[in-house]
Structure 1
Amino acid sequence: MTTPGTAVTAPPTIDVHAHVLLPGIEALVDGLPGLADARALDARRNGSAALRVNGPMIGERIPRLTDPAVRLAAMDAQGVDIQLVSPSPSHYHYWADEETAEKVYRLANEATAAHCSAAPDRLRGLGLVPLQHPAQAVRALDHALQQGLSGVEISSHAPGRELSDPDYEPLWARAEETGAIVFLHPFGCTLDERLDRWYLSNSVGQPTENAVALSHLIFSGVLDRHPDLRIIAAHGGGYLPTHIGRADHAWQARPDAGSGCAHLPSSYLRRLYFDSLVHDPGVLRELVRVAGADRVLLGSDFPFDMGTTDPLGALRAARLSDADFEAVRGGTAAALLRKD
């Protein structure tokens, strides 16, 4: 109960989906065997038209991606108090060998922590884990936490490995034990050239990858074995939350679909967290309905063009109840960040 005359402090506005560009990583991998093939694959997946747009788009945003002062000014203009900052997914470099992968994650963790140290009351950070080398994953997570970061960012898969791979069990166990945040943000879509026009590689590919990755976590029983994992899915979890009924039906109708997890797939949505970046007020309302406002967090994809420059405006457009609006605006994220 609030004492009469005592002011009630609202939770800060927290954006959990914002990126930092780390030029040192690209300098580190420049010219190494494997980089050219990785870039060629990226070019095939995105198509030439997308690549012509991407360069100038990123170039114009370099100050916001690298300069904490410019970032903070942009946050002020958006009405955002705190950002959870993760490396640009272009820094994953899951093609790298073990030695290079360790250098990448160490540099990413240290450079992200340094960027956030410019305003520790307003910037929280996430590091990287080399999913292509599961034996390094726990060390990478521990290194991120040692830098004062809140957790790590991962993609939807690594070459030849899904998130259901048993070799990731030590990572999930350590993340659960430490309370680390795991931010699931895809980079690239394995539908490849089918999506190489009209930027379908992103508009269709990213939500597809989110849905596939989350389905692997659900159907394989990862969330049964690690119920306290704190996973945030970017882009509202992609297609899965709004089409979860088909997964529920398969789980009930087919023994092969229901063999790996203990409960209806839809029930696991309330064990995951999702950002609000779905670009549609109706979809955001549905996400809040199926997952709960205590599982949805404000996200902008700052400062990329597939994000939103007005995350609060996008949230208001969903016309949520006051309580749900406040939870998504920052209440849920504030509780999440207090735990790390």
Structure 2
Amino acid sequence: MTAHPPQDGVATGPQPGGRPSANAGARPVPTVDVHAHLLIGEVEALVAGLPGLAEARELEARRNGPASLAVSGPMVRAVLPKATDVERRLAAMDAQGVDVQLVSPSPSHYHYWTDEDTAEKVCRLAAEATAAHCAQAPDRLRGLGLAPLQHPRQAVRALDHALEQGLLGVEISSHAPGRELSDPAYEPFWARAAETGAILFLHPFGCTLDERLDQWYLSNTVGQPTENAVALSHLIFSGVLDRHPELRLIAAHGGGYLPTHIGRSDHAWSARSDAGAGCAHPPSSYLKRLYFDSLVHDPHVLRALTEAAGADRVLLGSDFPFDMGAEDPVGALRAARLPDADFHAVRGGNAAALLRLT
């Protein structure tokens, strides 16, 4: 594992690549991107032609609108080599100055419309394909599988299978049809994840505001942060994080709108009996039990995120290789002008500890 030197004007002490270091002889901290995706053709081949796929695609089309779909199709085709070929992935990582990626299946592979048998096959294929992809560069790639949130009884089994493949955990969406993350049916899943120390990566796919967001790619720009905020609020206000304090959950997109607007949640928790009934502490306190990626596209928001959650709870994320990602995630982090220690913690120190790279 090669650690890339920090950007000019950031580091202040001995660094890798010939720079002096405040901790001479210490192993350099790798740069770690926790938000990177894999496209898996085997999963799409499995579901092709099944009852329910056409309806799911019609819903996605309504939610995104024709103009967005016309852009997204060519974009996905253009990034397909980076999203499937290990050598192209590694070359792109080198260009970005990224040492390690945590690779998760594209959220388009969730297929939460499938029946129990198909859902199990989807998750097994996704886990095995991700493990095989990462095994081609084991010093640079770590991976996550999927869990079928539409069938809560299967979620523990999918998590266990992913861990058996050598993956670090699973990726989940912000909800499943008819179920929020506060649903009691998920209790065994949260318990198993906490018990095993598995990583859960919360990454929404789609937004239930539907046609209200079907222009100008609002389905993503507004919808994804909204879904993050709703999902995290369900976990907090329902007491999931009280019952399972050892959960190791990373929220994509900086947790959406919630971390920077958490004061409203705190006020409701203290002012209203219905808002404060489910969790033991003010909602803002739970931010320090969660992890957040840095993909917020605004240096001021990134600074606010580190202030709200703590710099030790923020991890570098790029959404590689899609167009809503950051082509230069380290540069985006540098633009936030964090204190030197916080910069290096977010750049890789926090993730190296969480993913147990060292």
Scaled by the length of structure 1, what TM-score is found? 0.98
CA deviations 1:269-289 (Å, max 9, x no partner) are 000000000000000000000
Counterpart residue number, 1:307 = 325
- The structure-2 alpha-carbon separation of the partners of 1:324 and 1:5, relative to structure 1 and needing over 3 Å to count, comes to closer
Counterpart residue number, 1:288 = 306
Alpha-carbon offset, residue 8 of structure 1: 2.0
CA distance in 1, matches of 2:295, 2:67: 24
Counterpart residue number, 1:335 = 353
CA distance in 1, matches of 2:312, 2:145: 24
- 1:92 has 2:110 as partner: yes
| Unpaired stretches in structure 1, ≥5 consecutive residues | none
CA distance in 1, matches of 2:38, 2:173: 16
| Unpaired stretches in structure 2, ≥5 consecutive residues | 1-21
Counterpart residue number, 1:53 = 71
Kindly provide the amino acid, as one letter, of the partner of residue 316 in structure 2: L
Superposed, 1:173-184 pairs within 5 Å as: 173-184=191-202
- 1:252 has 2:270 as partner: yes
Alpha-carbon offset, residue 9 of structure 1: 2.0
What is the number of residues matched between the two proteins?
Answer: 337
CA distance in 2, matches of 1:109, 1:334: 22
CA deviations 1:160-206 (Å, max 9, x no partner) are 00000000000000000000000000000000000000000000000
Displacement over 6 Å in runs of 4+:
none
Name the SS for the 2:356 alignment partner. Answer: helix
Name the SS for the 1:61 alignment partner. Answer: helix
- The structure-2 alpha-carbon separation of the partners of 1:5 and 1:85, relative to structure 1 and needing over 3 Å to count, comes to closer
- 1:11 has 2:54 as partner: no
- 1:39 has 2:60 as partner: no
CA distance in 2, matches of 1:47, 1:220: 34
Alpha-carbon offset, residue 339 of structure 1: 8.0
Counterpart residue number, 1:134 = 152
Name the SS for the 2:103 alignment partner. Answer: strand
Name the SS for the 1:302 alignment partner. Answer: coil
Superposed, 1:314-325 pairs within 5 Å as: 314-325=332-343
Contact 1:18 1:301 in 2 (8 A): yes
CA distance in 1, matches of 2:85, 2:56: 28
Scaled by the length of structure 2, what TM-score is found? 0.93
CA distance in 2, matches of 1:119, 1:297: 21
CA distance in 1, matches of 2:68, 2:289: 35
Kindly provide the amino acid, as one letter, of the partner of residue 222 in structure 1: V
CA distance in 2, matches of 1:241, 1:7: 37
CA distance in 2, matches of 1:337, 1:61: 26
- The structure-2 alpha-carbon separation of the partners of 1:339 and 1:252, relative to structure 1 and needing over 3 Å to count, comes to farther
- Aligned-pair identity (%): 79
Superposed, 1:1-340 pairs within 5 Å as: 7-338=25-356
Name the SS for the 2:98 alignment partner. Answer: coil
Alpha-carbon offset, residue 5 of structure 1: 9.7
CA distance in 2, matches of 1:317, 1:280: 9
CA distance in 2, matches of 1:50, 1:115: 30
| Coordinate RMSD, CA, aligned | 1.2
